[in-house]
């Protein structure tokens, strides 16, 4: 049977069958560190129902069953390296920030520069990159939804990032950049660093719940992705090219969360923010407008 497909069948059974009989399972494959729990099943779930419940001699009961196979991220999106996302089905996309901590290399040694503000941006269908997050590690709130919206099949999503040093922007890297500085990874993928990130002494604490320290592979729910960014270094051979200067969690949902969404910059009338907007201080003109409203 094809995965991610709900199946229903009815058959006639001869002989005596006493019912009803039903089976139902439940599973959740999301990382425990994610506050946005995924309600899609992590294992196949289903039910069996016999009608009538009392079967008389020489009668044939009807057996009905439903099976829902869990979807995986490859069922609903296509990830084109290094990180462009194309929706293969319509659904809701949620974006959260996992962490922000720029590292730079001095004399071949990685040095933390967590006080440098980072900037996360998102582009939909080739549109301009609109700000989702701006701030230092102290401003990171992993439970906050920066973006939540229903998007159509075929929608193309790209992410980008940069940071601020001495009141000036660094270079801006995106999931379209060929230098692998912004990558999108799913469960079971290995971060494309030149060293074993899981064994590195500079492994960020916010990334540890998403990285299997024995295999080095990403650990995520079946419908989630990590967007990992290297913003402070361009040489992949350096120890600070670790793809954890800024990390986003992107989750696909088939159902509405029945709540208010946010503007692309994470600020609206139901979620007013500081709206600092980086060095130019002018990124949040829509703070008083709930342009997402309740998505259906």
- Asked whether residue 28 falls in the same domain as residue 63, the answer is yes
DSSP 119-178: EEEEEETT---EEEEEE-GGG--TTS-SEEEEE-TT-EEEEEEEEEETTEE---EETT-T
| Position 232 in a domain | yes
Q: Please report, rounded to a whole number, the percentage of residues in the chain having pLDDT higher than 90.
A: 49
Q: Which residue has the higher pLDDT, 202 or 10?
A: 202
What is the count of structural domains for the chain? Answer: 2
pLDDT band, very low/low/confident/very high, at 61 (cuts 50, 70, 90) = confident
Q: Which of 38, 70, 102 is the last residue of a domain?
A: 70
pLDDT, one tens digit per residue, over 126-170 is 999 999 999 999 999 999 999 999 999 999 999 999 999 889 999
User: What pLDDT sits at residue 20?
Assistant: 34
In sequence order, the β-bridge partners of residue 174 are 160
Q: Which of 48, 70, 92 is the last residue of a domain?
A: 70
- Asked whether residue 60 falls in the same domain as residue 96, the answer is no
Number of residues written out for the chain: 296
Residue 226, domain extent? 73-253
Query: pTM of this prediction?
Result: 0.68
- Asked whether residue 90 falls in the same domain as residue 212, the answer is yes
pLDDT band, very low/low/confident/very high, at 57 (cuts 50, 70, 90) = confident
| Position 287 in a domain | no
Q: Which residue has the higher pLDDT, 57 or 98?
A: 98
Q: Which of 12, 38, 70 is the last residue of a domain?
A: 70
d(CA 23, CA 49): 9
């Amino acid at each position: 049977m094809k995965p991610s497909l709900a199946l229903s069948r009815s058959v006639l059974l001869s002989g005596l069958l006493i019912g009803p009989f039903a089976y139902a399972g439940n599973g959740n494959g999301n990382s425990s560190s994610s506050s946005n729990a995924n309600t899609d099943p992590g294992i196949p779930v289903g039910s069996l129902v016999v009608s009538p419940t009392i079967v008389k001699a020489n009668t044939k009961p009807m057996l009905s069953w439903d099976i829902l196979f869990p979807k995986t991220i490859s069922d609903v999106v296509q990830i084109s390296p290094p990180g462009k996302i194309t929706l293969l089905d319509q659904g809701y996309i949620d974006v959260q920030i996992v962490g922000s901590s720029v590292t730079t290399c001095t004399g071949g040694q990685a040095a933390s520069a967590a006080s440098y503000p980072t900037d996360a941006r998102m582009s939909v269908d080739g549109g301009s990159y609109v700000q989702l997050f701006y701030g230092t590690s102290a401003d990171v709130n992993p439970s906050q939804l920066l973006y939540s919206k229903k998007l159509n099949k075929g929608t193309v999503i790209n992410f980008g990032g940069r940071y601020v040093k001495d009141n000036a922007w660094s270079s801006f890297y995106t999931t379209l950049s060929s230098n692998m500085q912004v990558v999108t990874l799913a469960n079971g993928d290995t971060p494309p660093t030149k060293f074993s990130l899981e064994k590195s002494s500079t492994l960020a604490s916010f990334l540890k719940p998403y990285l299997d320290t024995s295999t080095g592979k990403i650990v995520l729910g079946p419908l989630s992705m990590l967007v990992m960014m290297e913003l402070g270094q361009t040489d992949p051979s350096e120890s600070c090219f670790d793809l954890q200067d800024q990390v986003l969690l992107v989750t696909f949902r088939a159902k509405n969360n029945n709540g208010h969404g946010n503007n692309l910059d994470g600020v609206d009338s139901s979620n007013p923010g500081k709206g600092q907007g980086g060095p130019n201080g002018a990124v949040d003109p829509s703070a008083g407008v709930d342009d997402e409203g309740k998505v259906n």
